Amino acid sequence: MTMKAAVLHEHGSKLSVEDVPVPKVTSGSVRVKVLAAYIVHYAEAAYSGQLGYPMTLPMIPGATAVGIIEEVGADTTELKEGDLVFCDPTVRARDNATGPSTILQGLFTPPGGLTATYGNGAMAEQMLIPLENVVVLPKAWIKNPPLLVSLTPLFVPFGGIIAANFQPGQTLLVLGATGNFGSPAVLIALAMGAKKVIIPGRNKQKLDELVQRIKRCEGRAGNSSRE
């Protein structure tokens, strides 16, 4: 069986849409029909080679997806075909989750190891992903898959806030609050009960715009790192 996929053959080359084999489900994995794929804001810099990310080419790009489970591995106990799922592209070794073998599907794929099985990303009709990397979503949310996949930037700051043992009523300082992860961090902190969020930065105009849009945050602009 084959499927359509966008394939990157060389850094900086145009993606080509090709017929490629449908990934085979193995133990510990699921195959997902992709409904929406996330494109990171630095995609051009990454896939051109400018960022120096290790990539095993050719590769199907695209980190993160929302889709429907098409097939599950024999050892899957809870996930089932037809589930609407969010696919986390951060694949870790099961025998050393904090080791250097971690990859990002379709984005950061050093040779060998996990890349051999899970290196390809979401810019395809279907993708293979470890079962622990999928999160089941309510079926009613299927109406807008692109909106669901856009939740991606929220998960990084959410994990950081949880790791910091943040408690409701506390004041939080967010560095880089006008950035791709910083802005969601402000919203998440307020939603989790922050008394106030302080957002330092050098661009006073951007800080003022953020303060106007999001109440209970305080912008502090400075012209140097010491400020």
Q: What is the mean pLDDT of residues 203-218?
A: 79
The answer as to whether 15 is a domain residue is: yes
Q: Maximum distance among all alpha carbons in the chain?
A: 60
Query: Of 227, 158, 148, nearest to 188 (Cα)?
Result: 158
- The C-alpha atoms of residue 12 and residue 4 are separated, in whole angstroms, by 21
Residues 71 and 130 in one domain: yes
Domain that holds residue 201: 153-221
Please give the structure tokens belonging to residue 132.
């622990």
Residues 137 and 157 in one domain: no
Structural domains of the chain, count: 2
Residues 100 and 12 in one domain: yes
94-114 b/e (C-beta count within 10 Å ≥ 16 → b): eeeeeeebbbbbbbbbbeebb
Residues 158 and 137 in one domain: no
pLDDT in tens, 150-190: 888 998 899 999 999 999 999 999 988 888 888 899 999 99
| pLDDT band, very low/low/confident/very high, at 205 (cuts 50, 70, 90) | confident
Residues 167 and 93 in one domain: no
The answer as to whether 227 is a domain residue is: no
| pLDDT band, very low/low/confident/very high, at 222 (cuts 50, 70, 90) | low
The answer as to whether 77 is a domain residue is: yes
The answer as to whether 104 is a domain residue is: yes
Residues 134 and 158 in one domain: no
- The C-alpha atoms of residue 81 and residue 36 are separated, in whole angstroms, by 18
The answer as to whether 199 is a domain residue is: yes
Last residue of a domain, one of 141, 167, 184: 141
- The C-alpha atoms of residue 78 and residue 217 are separated, in whole angstroms, by 41
* CATH classification at residue 124: 3.90.180.10
* CATH classification at residue 182: 3.40.50.720
| pLDDT band, very low/low/confident/very high, at 211 (cuts 50, 70, 90) | confident
Residues 25 and 94 in one domain: yes
pLDDT at 224 over 90: no
pLDDT at 210 over 90: no
Q: Cα-flanking dihedrals φ and ψ of residue 187, to 5°?
A: -65, -40
Residue positions counted in the chain: 227
pTM over 0.75: yes
Task: Please provide the DSSP assignment of 161-181 as one string.
Answer: HHHTT--TT-EEE-TTTTSTT
The answer as to whether 83 is a domain residue is: yes
pLDDT at 130 over 60: yes
How much of the chain exceeds pLDDT 90, in percent? 78
pLDDT at 226 over 80: no
How much of the chain exceeds pLDDT 70, in percent? 95
The answer as to whether 146 is a domain residue is: no
Last residue of a domain, one of 141, 173, 205: 141
pLDDT at 216 over 90: no
The answer as to whether 194 is a domain residue is: yes
- The C-alpha atoms of residue 147 and residue 194 are separated, in whole angstroms, by 26
pLDDT in tens, 64-90: 999 999 999 999 999 999 999 999 999
Task: Please provide the DSSP assignment of 40-57 as one string.
Answer: -TTHHHHHTTTT---B-S
Beta carbons within 8 Å of 216's beta carbon, 6+ residues apart = 190, 194, 195, 196, 197
Q: At which residue do the structure tokens 């700051």 appear?
A: 157
